[in-house]
Structure 1
């Protein structure tokens, strides 16, 4: 697995959701079509584990979080950037999602949760904000950001 192959995996999913509203219906659809146990979920989880192991994912570290933007928002990714974080039992920096955020939760510790969500997909709508939090263990979280938009804030 390498970055171009990873981009192809992402494009397979991003092509099916491009232009869709970022809401609970999209989260339900992603979990039904690409949720845990599906070939797409397992391929992405495997690719992320390999990318972390090989050093092209999560190649930065700060505040106990390993992170990195692996793909910029381009036509190849249908306007989504892709970031992946590796977190264990902590909260990250507060931020706002100007256009929303789509998250894929991949627990490395069985039962680990992201913002209270188990393995699978969660979707935050435009203008939403949070302190991304992994609890009950360690997880990789893949973020799809429309137009790569994210605004870090000082809010708690």
Structure 2
């Protein structure tokens, strides 16, 4: 006899649990340079949590539940809508290689995890592997250069506005 507590979580369920654990640590913190530094110090490139998230994203792409859409040379997809279990962050992942994405604004800010692939030195908006935090009201044209990377986006309340 087996119960659900002994059943291993699927890739998507395990990914949800990883993200929920992370968002619990950052819920209520301002999206600013201090959070950027904290994330990179505690969950940055080379840390166990960074590698767990990176492997979960690589696995999700391979399993087909991450980056399931494609447009303009970018694979992308919203994995989870903003919900209480994720502390009101939505979760998107994109797969980009040497390309600039569509310009957009972040009404409530945006938290990005940059995960270079294929041992490349890929950067996201000029930033290497690790975290990048944009404050409320910021805007950019997300750009991956010098290789290929997966980028995980956490958006408070799922808010993003694409520029026409």
TM class by shorter-chain length? over 0.9
Give the secondary-structure state (helix, strand or coil) at the position aligned to 2:77. strand
TM-score (norm 1): 0.97
Within 2, Cα distance between the matches of 1:36 and 1:114?
A: 14
Within 2, Cα distance between the matches of 1:147 and 1:125?
A: 14
Cα drift, residue 19 of structure 1: 0.6
Match of 1:74 in 2: 83
Within 1, Cα distance between the matches of 2:14 and 2:131?
A: 21
How well do the aligned residues superpose, as a CA RMSD in angstroms?
0.7
Cα drift, residue 37 of structure 1: 1.4
Cα drift, residue 38 of structure 1: 1.1
Structure 1: give runs of 5+ residues left out of the alignment: none
1:110-151 residue CA offsets vs partner (Å, 9 max, x unmatched): 210000000000000000000000000100000000000000
Q: Does 1:19 align with 2:28?
A: yes
Cα drift, residue 39 of structure 1: 1.2
Q: Name the stretch that deviates more: 2-11 or 54-63.
A: 2-11
Within 1, Cα distance between the matches of 2:65 and 2:34?
A: 32
Match of 2:151 in 1: 141
Within 2, Cα distance between the matches of 1:32 and 1:79?
A: 23
Q: Does 1:129 align with 2:139?
A: yes
Number of aligned pairs?
Answer: 154
TM-score (norm 2): 0.92
Structure 2: give runs of 5+ residues left out of the alignment: 1-9
Match of 2:7 in 1: none
Within 2, Cα distance between the matches of 1:69 and 1:76?
A: 16
1:32-83 residue CA offsets vs partner (Å, 9 max, x unmatched): 0001111110000000000001100000000000000001100110010000
